[in-house]
Amino acid sequence: MASRASILHADLDAFYASVEQRDDPDLRGRPVIVGMGVVLAASYEAKARGVRTAMGGRQARRLCPEAVVVSPRMSAYSAASEAVFEVFRQTTPLVEGISIDEAFLDVGGLAKISGSPPQIAAQLRREVLRKVGLPITVGVARTKFLAKVASAVAKPDGLLVVEPDRELAFLHPLPIERLWGVGEKTAVKLRQRGVYTVGDVAQLAERSLVAIVGPAAGRHLHALAVGRDPRRVVIGQRRHSIGSQHALGSRRRTPAELDAVVVGIIDRVTRRLRAARRVARTVVLRLRFDDYTRATRSHTLAEPTSHTGQLLTVARSLVATVAPTIEQRGLTLVGVALSNLEDDDPLQLPLPIDRHGGSALDATVDDVRDRFGTRAVTRAVLLNRDEALVMPMLPD
């Protein structure tokens, strides 16, 4: 574990909205909402009025009627992300991307070349603003957890250094929600026992936390609360799953309409799977019903695959298992994730040999889409349907 504050957590501020304000001077200083039906991002001017990511568009406009609502431009956000990550890589070779707008950087070995970690962090912020035109907040600390908390506290457009000798003084007054792993349900459990701050968590014995939230979560939260986080910045780490989801809104969908949504999702995730030269064994279906409850179903194949047809068959069978519940409770969101990923290396085929005939077709369709665009070839069931919004992601 590092003995000094040398890990940076760099996080772009209101990323999508900042790109819109950068590219349109008329939007600067004004409340901006990205996304029509659901808020994908909000500028800090809109956040000050209570607008939050994932909020419904109508609610957001009621809170901030003067906001400018813009349609998302995913290609612009992807380009901006690539430019920012190039600045990260020019700063240090030890960059661990978390999402398209944030990363951890280890700058512990650059003192003689680039200066102290706080100096490097300040220079990084200047370079991102100069080269990409976007504000970025950086937290500097001894551990990844503390660096991320520091950047969250310093937002927007700030820099905060947490030196080792004042870690607990910085961390303990913060609310329990700052701890990784404390969501709404865990927070309720802790507050019911008089635990409101990170310092309150630290004062509990580990066995007491385990009794409240379970063994794994209890040990994890206790370690973070007392400043223990041995994780290092890791480069070249690959995804554990590849997925996509589609918000359906409040309108009831027919089985045929829902099937078309599932087809579109499988098309997207299997194309990403093949682009990463990987195969999957497990298909996970995630559903959110009208009453905001959720359900998950999964199926694991005997052999890994990247074939669209085979994975679509599995996804359809999973949907069929919950069809009565969907009919009864309605559905507002459907998602599919492919997990148990492996590299797409040549495999020893089991007997009897059963090559899936769709592999050549999948490859051909991928090539056409790469050359002429994603809409150049599509399934008949998807014709004349709104194309789902595809969120930009880090390359695998």
- Residue 29: left (phi > 0), alpha (psi -120 to 50), or beta? left
How far apart are alpha carbons 36 and 48 in whole angstroms?
A: 19
**Minimal CA–CA distance to 391: which of 176, 245, 194?**
245
Numbered residues of the known binding site: 11, 101
Q: Which of 20, 96, 102, 167 is catalytic?
A: 102
How far apart are alpha carbons 149 and 153 in whole angstroms?
A: 6
206 is catalytic: no
SS (H, E, C) the chain: CCCCCCEEEEEECCHHHHHHHHHCHHHCCCCEEECCCECCEECHHHHCCCCCCCCEHHHHHHHCCCCEEECCCHHHHHHHHHHHHHHHHHHCCCEEEEECCEEEEECCCCHHHHCCHHHHHHHHHHHHHHHHCCCEEEEEECCHHHHHHHHHHHCCCCEEECCHHHHHHHHCCCEHHHCCCCCHHHHHHHHCCCCCEHHHHHHCCHHHHHHHHCHHHHHHHHHHHCCCCCCCCCCCCCCCEEEEEEECCCCCCCHHHHHHHHHHHHHHHHHHHHHCCEEEEEEEEEEEECCCCEEEEEEEEEEEECCHHHHHHHHHHHHHHCHHHHHHHCEEEEEEEEEEEEECCCCCCCCCCCCCCHHHHHHHHHHHHHHHCCCCCCCHHHCCCCCCCCCCCCCC
Numbered residues of the known binding site for Mg(2+): 11, 101
Active site (catalytic) residues: 102
